[in-house]
């Protein structure tokens, strides 16, 4: 019988090995630490999981594709970007995970996102494996024609690796409805197939699902509400700080407002806005989705209730709830200390790995309910899987039906994480609950399918 401390030592060795085999990939190391450090109890209790080779296979992607993406700007200049698709684990279904277009993208970032995605997708209970992709292309300030040429060049290589039964990408940072449209068009042109299920996040008129754009933000708010319910509270009247002003942030703000909370901030890489009256979503959508502008414009147009703070930390704004919805490692230990000083009750991650490990520990030690991204933002990929289901059946569901399914999925994820944490002597620890529950489902499928 293996003890927990023997298991911990074996995991520590493996983590050192992961760092050696994957040099200069700090985000991937961070994600691997975060998951593996919580697995000791389940590996000690279930010896079949400690079988040599299982975790080693889990941390090694099944396939990694890196490719050149040449494209011409409006002045005819040639640019060369790098494209990635990491197909991490397909034990539960076709690889599924978004594409990120941002200058900070590199292999380590895509691997961290792909690794997280395995467990997140498992938690949804649906048949989807884990993958992620993207490019170091920066769409900011580019014309529609430039974005289109980039997407066409990107898909001219990517199409070989994807398919409705193989790998189904979606959006992420820098990839929204516009980009998915250009990518889908090029896939259709090259393959001469109407294969709706090859990409998700499509427009509602051509194979997309109602509520998919909203799903990540709505889902995160439902997860936060479930955590509060567990403590005998609800969202009504709670003040919330939200970071980001993209897809996830916008629909987080929308759902918070609909459920009676008061979201008072949003941000982008230039700074943040505080609006005491609550964020005016029509104005924010106009600036971000139509004009593709910056958040300072929001404060300029909104009047006296709002002010723009260049740079700075949105986490200094006092609130009951915090929903980080921009990017990884945006909420560090100082930010967590500031939230705790101001009496925050719950932090729920809309973004992937936005909270640093030190900040997570501080929040948990301080008794704050903490919802990790792989559980709290799983509504996005669940919405994508519902889009795939509609595509396979050549049908489309009403918004009410998709929302009902999403709500059931988020409540189930919350219950699963909560109960798993209790089962492993970590009551209220959603990080442990999410990691172990996601791991158990993937590990069972991998063991059943043999050493591949």
User: Can you tell me the distance from the alpha carbon of 145 to that of 192, in angstroms, rounded to the nearest whole number?
Assistant: 23
For residues 175 and 99, is the Cβ–Cβ distance under 8 A? yes
* 246 binding ligand NDP? (CB under 6 A): yes
Which of residues 40 and 309 has its CB atom nearest to ligand NDP in the complex? 309
- Kindly tell me which of 178 and 423 has the beta carbon lying closer to ligand NDP: 178
Question: Which listed residue (350, 372, 433, 438) binds ligand NDP by CB under 6 A?
Answer: 350
* Dihedral class, residue 79 (left if φ above 0, else alpha if ψ from -120 to 50, else beta): beta
Indicate the residue among 114 and 246 with the shorter CB distance to ligand NDP: 246
- DSSP E strands, 182-261: 239-242
Contact 85, 404 (CB under 8 A): no
Among 326, 359, 413, 443, binds ligand NDP (CB under 6 A): 326
Of the pair 50, 175, the CB lying nearest ligand NDP is at 175
The pair of structure tokens assigned to 16 is: 């050192």
CA contacts within 13 A on the Cβ side of 228? 22
Nearer CB in complex with ligand NDP: 102/188: 102
**Using the rule CB under 6 A, is 216 a contact of ligand NDP?**
yes
Of the candidate residues 89, 186, 352, 435, the single one contacting ligand NDP (CB under 6 A): 352
* 262-263 and 265-268 beta bridge pairing: unpaired
Alpha carbon distance, N-terminus to C-terminus of the chain: 27
Task: Decide if 371 contacts 219 (C-beta within 8 A).
Answer: no
Taking the complex as a whole, how short is the minimal distance between the CB of residue 310 and ligand NDP, in angstroms? 12
Asked if 325 touches ligand NDP (CB under 6 A), the answer is yes
288 is catalytic: no
3-state DSSP call for residue 124?
A: coil
Q: Which of 120, 132, 288, 345 is catalytic?
A: 132
What is the number of residues in the chain?
Answer: 452
Q: Which one of residues 146, 167, 172, 320 is an interface residue with ligand NDP (CB under 6 A)?
A: 172
Helix, strand, or coil (residue 194): coil
Using CB under 6 A, which of 209, 313, 377, 416 touches ligand NDP? 377
**Which 17-76 residues touch ligand NDP, going by CB under 6 A?**
none
Given the rule CB under 6 A, which residues bind ligand NDP? 102, 104, 171-174, 176, 216, 244-249, 268-269, 325-327, 350-352, 377, 380
By annotation, the residues acting in catalysis are 132
């Amino acid at each position: 019988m293996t003890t927990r401390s023997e298991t911990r030592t074996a995991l520590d060795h493996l983590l050192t090995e992961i760092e050696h085999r994957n040099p200069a990939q700090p985000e991937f190391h961070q994600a691997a630490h975060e998951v593996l450090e919580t697995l000791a109890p389940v590996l000690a209790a279930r010896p079949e999981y400690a079988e040599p080779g299982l975790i080693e296979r889990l941390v090694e992607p099944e396939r990694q594709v890196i490719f050149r993406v040449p494209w011409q700007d409006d002045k005819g200049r040639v640019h060369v970007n790098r494209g990635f698709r990491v197909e991490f684990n397909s034990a539960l279904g076709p690889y599924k995970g978004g594409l990120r277009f941002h200058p900070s993208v590199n292999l380590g970032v895509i691997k961290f996102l792909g690794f997280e995605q395995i467990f997140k997708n498992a938690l949804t209970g649906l048949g989807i494996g884990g993958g992620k992709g993207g490019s170091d292309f920066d769409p900011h300030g580019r014309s529609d024609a430039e974005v289109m040429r980039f997407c066409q060049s990107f898909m001219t290589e990517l199409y070989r690796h994807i398919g409705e039964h193989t790998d189904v990408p979606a959006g992420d940072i820098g990839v929204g409805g516009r980009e998915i449209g250009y990518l889908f068009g090029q896939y259709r042109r090259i393959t001469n197939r109407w294969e709706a299920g090859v990409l998700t996040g499509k427009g509602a008129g051509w194979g997309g699902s109602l509520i998919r754009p909203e799903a990540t933000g709505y889902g995160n708010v439902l997860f936060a509400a479930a955590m509060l319910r567990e403590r005998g509270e609800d969202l009504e009247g709670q003040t919330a700080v939200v970071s980001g002003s993209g897809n996830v942030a916008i629909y987080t703000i929308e759902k918070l407002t609909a459920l009676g909370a008061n979201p008072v901030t949003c941000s982008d890489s230039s700074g943040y806005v505080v609006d005491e009256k609550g964020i005016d979503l029509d104005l924010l959508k106009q600036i971000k989705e139509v004009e593709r502008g910056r958040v300072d414009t929001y404060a300029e147009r909104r009047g006296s209730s709002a002010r723009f703070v260049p740079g700075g930390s949105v986490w200094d704004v006092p609130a009951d709830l915090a929903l980080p919805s921009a990017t990884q490692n945006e909420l560090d230990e100082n930010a967590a200390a500031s939230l705790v000083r101001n009496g925050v009750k719950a932090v729920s991650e809309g973004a992937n790995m936005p909270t640093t490990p030190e900040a997570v520990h501080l929040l948990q030690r301080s008794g704050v309910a903490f919802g990790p991204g792989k559980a709290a933002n799983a509504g996005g990929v669940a919405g994508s899987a519902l889009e795939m289901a509609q595509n396979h059946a050549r049908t489309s569901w009403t918004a009410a039906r998709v929302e009902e399914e999403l709500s059931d999925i988020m409540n189930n994820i919350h219950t699963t994480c909560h109960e798993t944490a209790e089962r492993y002597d970590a009551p209220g620890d959603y990080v442990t609950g999410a990691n172990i529950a996601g791991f158990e489902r993937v590990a069972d499928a991998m063991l059943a399918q043999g050493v591949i």
